[in-house]
Structure 1
Amino acid sequence: MRLPLPRSLRSQITASVAVLVVVVVALAGLIIVDRIDHRDRTDADRQLAVRANKAQGDAYKLLSEGDGAGGNGGDDYGGLLAGSQSLVRLISGGRIIDSRGDQPGVDIPVPTADGLSTVQVGGQSWRSLVEPVDTTGDGTDDAHIQVLQDLDPIEQRLADNTRIVAGVAALATLVAGGGVWLITRVILQPLQRLRTGAQRIRPADTSRLLPQVTRPQEVADLSASLNSMLGQLQTSMRATRRFTADAGHELRTPLTTLGMNLETLQRNPQLPTAQRQEALDAMAVEHRRITALLEGLQILARGDAHALPPRAAVDLPALLDEAVRHARNRHPGTAYALHLAAAEPAPPVEGWPAGLRLAVDNLLDNAALHGRRPHGQVHVSLSWDAGCAHVTVSDNGPGIPAEQREAVKARFARGPQPHSHGSGLGLALVQQQAELHGGALAFSDAPGGGLMATLSVQSGRTEP
């Protein structure tokens, strides 16, 4: 059966400490009381032995006087009168010859064996020591001396000490419980601050965090962990909201165009073949635009929320070589030239291979689409310095004015003279991948005219 525990942590700590204190104090007190009682009983046995030794010298005189000698209770035989709360008896032939000391109100039975024992008579405890009397040669070999000590004082002392221990344990429990109750109020204040801060956070609030706590260390670590979790949740929420808003805004136009073309085809089943094909081609273009837009937004949303696959080692030279080969197939009218800096071995880069490939593909496509037409030329190079890898893509097109280069990194931004109906997310995706890999995207003038884009990523393992 489980004992019911208080609901609050403060009450649980106080109850636990109180139980611990009462157990420790009571146990320590009982051990002390037991040792004191043991000492008292040992002292009583020692005193019995001393009195029995003194009474041995008087026993022979009593036996020679006969029954009842010295029965007037006088102190004629010195050591035989043992003092207060004790009794000395001379026994011979199963009969009491004489007794001295404090006489009990009830008869104490004649002992049947020698040695130490405890006698219970009329609710009173006596400690008894029986020894044979040395009367060799007089025909009284069965004479014994019995010394008794009243144990009531020892029993009373044991009871008093036990009550003291109980009182001290109860008082210590109350004092410890009260002290812990007050102390835990101070100690648990940081947790109370976290609780209050958590109650103030609302689903619509994407910027509020829990209060910063510095002490105690455990609560500080909890605060940091919870704030980190809240930051990730808020980042994910902002990414989701941005994805929803961007998708709703950008999909409206292509979906409207698709709807109009579908309505045109439905209302005009006898539409000439050329016009029908034109409408279908327009719908295919819008479909590709919607697909590219959704894919781009999905990738951006995953990057914003850091919902990324595990990192892996990326072979940049191999990645660039493959990307350039595929770009030549996509843009046969553009001449691609790849130059890799001599570095053996190439510094390792840990990141997301798919993300880096996407960034490189977008740079290669942009260079072909916005470069010179026809006979465009794109130069691709890879170099390393100061722990960074630099992928440079330059074209021979009209370029982008310096004052507009930062603006084209924004989502849904297009150059001043776009040559395609792209989603406007290509450079935004490149910029995001650069940041996720600890680098940046920079634009400058190409040596032979046109635009040069440089994607820099850190070598080695980097955290976003």
Structure 2
Amino acid sequence: MRWRPRGLRSQITAAIAALVTVVVALAGLVIVARIDHRDRTDVDRQLAARAQKVRQDADKLLGQGDHEDDHAEGDEGRDDYGGLLAGSQSLVRLLSDGKVIAQRGDSPPTALPLPDRDGYRTIEADGETWRSLTGPLNPAGDRLEVLQDVDSIERRLADNTALVAAVTALAALAAAAGVWTTTRILLQPLQRLRTGALAVSADTTAPQLPEVTHPQEVADLSRALNTMLDQLRTSMESTRRFTADAGHELRTPLTSLGVTIEALQRNPDLPAPQRARALAAMSNEHHRITGLLTGLQTLARGDAHALPDRTPVALDVLLEEAVTHAVRRHPTVTYRLTADTPATVNGWPAGLRTAIDNLLDNAALHGRPDGNVDVRLTRAEGEVRISVSDDGPGIPPDQRQTMKERFTRGPRTRATGSGLGLALVEQQAHLHQGTFHLAQSPAGGLRATIKVPSAGPV
């Protein structure tokens, strides 16, 4: 099983240390190789120059044979054979018919093998390394071989390689120590986020993660996480509110429905008129429960922003359909629709239709019996306005804001309802970046106006 650092800090440190090791090692080896190549090229160049000079002294070398120590005492330091003094670690050999007929220079303890071809070659003998250049000497077929001991070059190569290894190890250690210290500082914002995330609680209402300003990537992560937590908190609060509202508001109609059912069960011989009234009451409670659940579900979905993508909505067409259906629901009410121009907004057709239906039903139920409802669609200054006016008793100015709250019903209302209609309208207006206002209508009743930004040209 391969070992791999678990922590981000350890992984960054290991990765950078490995990268520095590879880079420094490669760079060092390239430099060492270049130096070694230069040294060996210089040796080959010196061998070629020495061979050229020795050819000029070949007759002297042939005359003295292979006696290296017959210098006169006063001749030490003289150079009669191309710099081939004793101690120069160089050797010259004259070859004829596969035999050495003369040589001059430093001879190794072990005899060097004879060359089998002309040109450069490297020879290993008794732990020493020699570089050799062989070439023809004269038309008679004699050959000249010039050799140079290159142990110093080999030692330099080994020393340079060891130096590169040491520098690479030191560079890797220095890089690891530097990265380990630096990442501790750079990862502090992430550590703060981690600490904040461990402290996240479902009951926390304030921002739960610290605001990070740098580096930019961590700052973006901080904002994204806080946005996600806000959405989760909103969704949770919406769920709690839905549960609490449903439990509170459904208790009364369900109790009433249960009492009526028990009464019918205990009195199977109940007269027909009383049974009809009981069934009608049960039907009303059923409709009330259904409407209440639908309204609560719509409010909860809006609170949690669980909404589909926005699409262009033709309000004039949507309003005409809504008025047509409202006439069927309230046949005794007269609806008058005025839509001077087409209007389009970006939003959710279902949500806008819910808001419009609630305004139309509210005007019919709480306005004057068999009264008139005026519906107008206008555009001005980049916004679309939908106003619904009735000729009923209206709402006093000091109660209009209160009537927008959930489960609020007017003291003089004569119609049953859940008290969620105006709350739904205001929520949809806000979700569409608009506003919702209540005022007195020209006929003395209530005028409800929704204003939302227009998507089309004014």
TM beyond 0.5? yes
2:269 alignment partner in structure 1? 270
Q: Which amino acid aligns with 2:378?
A: S
Offset of 1:426 from its aligned partner?
Answer: 0.4
Q: Give the residue type in structure 1 aligned to 2:349.
A: P
AA matched with 1:408 = M
Higher mean Cα deviation, 150-159 or 280-289?
Answer: 280-289
User: How many angstroms apart in 1 are the aligned matches of 2:290 and 2:416?
Assistant: 13
Deviations 1:3-39 (A, max 9, x none): 4321111111111111111001101111111111111
Question: In the TM superposition, what whole-angstrom CA distance separates every residue of 1:193-218 from its partner, at most 9, and x where no partner exists?
Answer: 11111110023334443222221111
Count of residue correspondences? 450
Matched letter for residue 164 of structure 2: V
Distance 1:70 1:400, change over 3 A: closer
> Contact between 1:81 and 1:101, CA under 8 Å: does it hold in 2?
no
Find the counterpart in structure 2 of residue 411 from structure 1: 406
Partner residue, 1:124: 128
The structure-2 alpha-carbon separation of the partners of 1:202 and 1:33, relative to structure 1 and needing over 3 Å to count, comes to: same
The alpha-carbon distance between structure 1 residues 95 and 328, as it changes in their structure 2 partners (threshold 3 A), is closer
**Aligned twin of 1:435:** 430
Amino acid at match of 2:384: A
Q: Does 1:112 align with 2:110?
A: no
Structure 1 residue 73: Cα displacement: 5.0
Counting only pairs closer than 5 Å after superposition, residues 43-54 of structure 1 correspond to structure 2 as 43-54=42-53
Mapping 1:150-299, distance limit 5 Å: 150-299=149-298
SS in 2 for 1:384: strand
Task: Please point out which of 395, 400, 408 is paired with 2:395.
Answer: 400
Q: Which whole-Å deviations, capped at 9, do the CAs of 1:321-354 have from their partners, x for residues lacking one?
A: 222222222112221111123x3xx342111111
Write out per-residue CA displacement over residues 74-110 of structure 1, whole angstroms, 9 at most, x where no aligned residue.
6577125524121122333433333222221111123
Preserved contact between residue 70 and residue 98 of structure 1 (Cα < 8 Å): no
For residue 202 of structure 2, give the secondary structure of its aligned residue in structure 1: coil
TM-score of the pair, normalised by structure 2: 0.94
Cα gap change, 1:72 to 1:110, in 2 (>3 Å): farther
Instruction: Note the aligned Cα RMSD (angstroms).
Output: 1.8
- SS at 1:146's partner residue? strand
- Read off the aligned partner of 1:119 and give its amino acid letter: I
Q: Does 1:312 align with 2:316?
A: no
2:353 to 354, 357, 366: 357
Query: 1: CA distance between counterparts of 2:134 and 2:419?
Result: 114
> How many angstroms apart in 1 are the aligned matches of 2:238 and 2:112?
98
How far apart are the structure 2 equivalents of 1:287 and 1:347?
Answer: 38
| Counterpart AA for 2:368 | R
Query: Please, which moves more after superposition, 123-132 or 294-303?
Result: 123-132
Residue number in structure 2 paired with 1:448:
443
Q: Paired residue for 2:380?
A: 385
Unaligned runs of 5+ in 1: none
Cα distance in 2 between the residues matched to 1:390 and 1:328: 21
Query: Percent of counterpart pairs with the same letter?
Result: 58
Alpha-carbon distance, 1:452 to partner: 0.9
Check whether the contact 2:315–2:343 (CA below 8 A) recurs between aligned residues: no
| Helix, strand or coil at the partner of 2:115 | coil
2:105 to 97, 101, 105: 101
Asked if the contact 1:119/1:128 (under 8 Å) is kept, the reply is yes
Q: Distance in 2 between matches of 1:418 and 1:47?
A: 118
Gaps of 5+ in 2: none
Question: In the alignment, is the contact (CA less than 8 A) between 2:132 and 2:148 conserved in 1?
Answer: yes
Displacement, 1:257?
0.7
Matched to 1:442, the amino acid is: H
CA offsets 1:205-233 (integer angstroms, 9 cap, x no match): 34443222221111122122222211111
Deviates more, 1:227-236 or 1:6-15: 227-236
Letter in 2 for 1:263: E
Change (3 A) 1:431 1:67: closer
- Whichever residue aligns with residue 245 of structure 1, its letter is A
- CA drift of 1:371 comes to 1.0
The superposition leaves residues 158-193 of structure 1 with CA deviations (integer Å, 9 ceiling, x where unpaired) of 000000110111111011111111111111111111
Aligned AA (1:246)? D
Cα separation, 1, equivalents of 2:221 and 2:338 = 50
Does residue 366 of the first structure (1) align with residue 366 of the second (2)?
no
Contact 2:112–2:125 (Cα < 8 Å) also in 1: yes
1:338-357 matches, within 5 Å, as 338-341=337-340, 343=341, 346-357=342-353
Per the alignment, in what secondary structure is the counterpart of residue 460 of structure 1? Answer: coil
Determine the C-alpha separation between the residues in 1 that align with 2:356 and 2:327: 13
User: 70, 73, 89: which one pairs with 1:72?
Assistant: 70
* 1:329 and 2:328 matched: yes
- Match in the other structure for 1:85: 89
Contact 1:317 1:340 in 2 (8 A): yes
Does the aligned pair in 2 maintain the 1:49–1:129 contact within 8 Å? yes
The 8 Å contact of residues 91 and 144 in structure 1, kept in 2 or not, is answered as yes
| Structure-1 separation of matches of 2:64 and 2:393 | 147
- Aligned mates of 1:202, 1:349 — CA distance in 2: 39
CA distance in 1: counterparts of 2:296 and 2:26, whole angstroms: 70
Paired with 1:329 and 1:112, the residues of 2 have a C-alpha distance of 117
TM-score of the two chains, using structure 1 as the length reference: 0.93
Given residue 124 of structure 2, which amino acid in structure 1 is its aligned partner? Q
Give the alignment of 1:136-147 within 5 angstroms.
141-147=140-146
The verdict on how the C-alpha distance between 1:333 and 1:326 changes in structure 2, with shifts beyond 3 A counting, is same
